[in-house]
């Protein structure tokens, strides 16, 4: 079992920045690829970013590429999502998730999920 707890969400103006954190407990954090997904009201959950468990390769959705940065600290059992140049359309609940795959953009490959943290970007 892996328990995930997100933090760092909030209200920010367009063009601003936020840093989300996801703290993991339970089984060996370094064994999991970690991902961030988001879900806006009335929309399906979508992939945002993922980072592999060891080499730390990263992959991003086209909509956030160049603005968001995913990183992890295996010593602290934490994954981060640095969000810069935020847009109103980034407003959503953001979820971190853990997968035993090397990496994945598919939410079905993630077996563990946090409770989510709200990010609201105002114009």
Q: Answer yes or no: is pLDDT of 24 > 90.
A: yes
CA angle 55, 78, 13 (to 5 degrees): 110
Q: Answer yes or no: is pLDDT of 98 > 90.
A: yes
Q: Answer yes or no: is pLDDT of 53 > 90.
A: no
Q: Which pLDDT value is given to residue 106? A: 95
Residue 41 CB contacts under 8 Å (≥ 6 apart), including other chains = none
Overall average pLDDT of the 70-80 stretch: 95
Q: How many other CB atoms are found less than 10 A from the CB of residue 59?
A: 17
Overall average pLDDT of the 103-110 stretch: 95
Q: Answer yes or no: is pLDDT of 26 > 80.
A: no
Residue 114 CB contacts under 8 Å (≥ 6 apart), including other chains = 4, 5, 6, 22, 95, 96, 97
pLDDT confidence bin for 94, thresholds 50/70/90: very high
Overall average pLDDT of the 114-119 stretch: 98
pLDDT confidence bin for 28, thresholds 50/70/90: confident
Q: Which pLDDT value is given to residue 29? A: 87
Average pLDDT score, the chain = 95
Residue 22: both structure tokens together: 């996801």
DSSP 28-93: -GGGSEEEEEEE-TTS--EEEEEE-SSS--EEE-TTTTTTEEEEEETTTTEEEEEE-S--GGG-EE
Q: In angstroms, rounded to a whole number, what is the distance separating the alpha carbons of residues 94 and 84?
A: 15
Residue of higher predicted confidence among 34 and 56: 34
- Per the CB < 8 A criterion, the answer to whether 27 and 2 are in contact is yes
């Amino acid at each position: 079992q892996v328990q995930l707890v997100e933090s760092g969400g909030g209200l920010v103006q367009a063009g601003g920045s936020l840093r989300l954190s996801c703290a993991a407990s339970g089984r060996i954090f370094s064994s999991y690829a970690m991902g961030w997904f988001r879900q806006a009201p009335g929309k399906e959950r979508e992939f945002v970013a993922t980072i592999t468990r060891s080499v730390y390769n990263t992959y991003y959705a086209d909509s956030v590429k160049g603005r968001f940065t995913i990183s992890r600290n295996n010593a602290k059992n934490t994954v981060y999502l640095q969000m810069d140049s935020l847009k109103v359309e980034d407003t959503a609940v953001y979820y971190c998730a853990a997968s035993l795959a090397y990496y994945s953009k598919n939410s079905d490959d993630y077996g563990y999920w946090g409770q989510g943290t709200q990010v609201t970007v105002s114009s």
